Structure 1
Amino acid sequence: MNTKNTALSFQAGETVVYPGHGLGVITGIEGQEVAGFKLELLVLSLDAGKVTVRIPLAKAKSSGLRKLSEPAIVNQALAILSGKARAKRGMWNRRAADYQERISTGQLTAVAEVLRDLNRGPQQEEASYSERQIFEGALDFTVKEIAAVRQITETEARKLIEQGLADAPRSSKLAGSEAAA
């Protein structure tokens, strides 16, 4: 097994993305014995230190744990936000499951697509409760990662995202279907 290489790719103090949980800071790497097996664990502090998670080094990659996105990926995500939304048809529960699946990948561009597709512009209040929840979760994730990568405040990152969403073309067909919904 390649445990040492995995350990070297993550360092204490590094900000990482843990899909489904958001951004966290690696506070250390510790050894622990579980059921007679000695494990090396990455210790992550999530949600500004409110939650601590331990991930076995051997499972770090398969869990989706990754380093922050490169600046080029952030630029790509911001470009996606200002693109044309893909109108989804079908049952809301299937679309919601698709959105949640894309968010749970933890990939910034996939989450940006969800934001773009759920964006209703100034009419965001007209979205259903579950749409708003998914939108807000995706927005929060995107704000935090962009702020961390660009080393700006979350307020500045939110403004960048809102500007991208405001620049997105709104088709009259989509606006009409939203009014009907």
Structure 2
Amino acid sequence: MSKSKKLDFSPNDFVVYPSHGVGKVVSIEVQEIAGMELELFVISFEKDKMTLRVPTNKAIEVGMRSLSSPDVVTQAMKTLKGKAKVKRAMWSRRAQEYEQKINSGDLIAIAEVVRDLHRADDQREQSYSERQLYEAALDRLTREVAAVSGDEETDAQKQINDVLISRAPPPAAA
């Protein structure tokens, strides 16, 4: 039995890399690095125009995983419907927590960030950094929901927006 567990991905499989979101395995190649042969997953993140090479024996360690199951996507959508939970901590501390959730690669944690930072049109303005974190989380969530369902990102985006809008309280009657 080998001492390091290996993830079994094939070319054209979608994967989630925690700090970059959804990518596609383009190939598995062997490269000689420092005199050692290393087997690597070559992952393309088309939207970011980026290619990442991850040693196959380190994929689990770095938190690379398969796409979420449809059940997890359903859970994430339920999470979006929930009431925003905003701690009274200073923004810098909250921002750090949001950043960690986004980079965890955990779809439910990412959905929590989207839920907590979403603003309806009639709510107070978001700061620049709040908006950046919200958009990063929304982008990750959208890409994974689209990849799991096989839909276009625009369809996934609409599905997520519909959920977010449905939970917003109706504007007060004039």
Same fold by TM-score greater than 0.5: yes
Match in the other structure for 2:70: 71
1:123 deviation in Å?
A: 4.2
The yes-or-no answer on 1:14 pairing with 2:25 is no
- Percent pairwise identity: 46
CA distance, structure 2, for counterparts of residue 56 and residue 41 of structure 1 = 4
- Cα–Cα, structure 1 residues 137 and 123, in superposed 2: closer, same or farther, change >3 Å? farther
Match in the other structure for 2:85: 86
- Which deviates the most, 151-160 or 65-74? 151-160
Equivalence map 1:139-158=2 (5 Å): 139-158=138-157
Partner-residue secondary structure (3-state), 1:165:
helix
Match in the other structure for 2:172: none
Q: Show structure 2 runs of 5+ residues with no match.
A: 170-174
Task: Report the count of equivalent residues.
Answer: 168
CA distance, structure 2, for counterparts of residue 27 and residue 125 of structure 1 = 43
Match in the other structure for 1:98: 97
TM-score, normalising length from structure 1?
0.87
1:140 deviation in Å?
A: 0.6
Query: Which amino acid counterpart does residue 81 of structure 1 have in structure 2?
Result: L
Match in the other structure for 1:41: 40
**1:60-85 deviations in Å (ceiling 9; x for gaps):** 01111111000000000001001011
Q: Show structure 1 runs of 5+ residues with no match.
A: 171-181
Query: Which amino acid counterpart does residue 161 of structure 2 have in structure 1?
Result: E
Asked if 1 retains the 8 angstrom alpha-carbon contact of 2:25 and 2:44, the reply is yes
**1:31-79 deviations in Å (ceiling 9; x for gaps):** 1111122111111011348211100111101111111000000000001
TM-score, normalising length from structure 2?
0.90
Pairwise CA RMSD of aligned residues? 1.7
Partner-residue secondary structure (3-state), 1:6:
coil
- Cα–Cα, structure 1 residues 124 and 21, in superposed 2: closer, same or farther, change >3 Å? farther
Which contiguous aligned blocks of 4+ residues in structure 1 show a shift greater than 6 angstroms? none
Partner-residue secondary structure (3-state), 1:69:
coil
Query: Which amino acid counterpart does residue 153 of structure 2 have in structure 1?
Result: E
**1:137-172 deviations in Å (ceiling 9; x for gaps):** 0011111110111111111111111111122255xx
1:127 deviation in Å?
A: 0.3
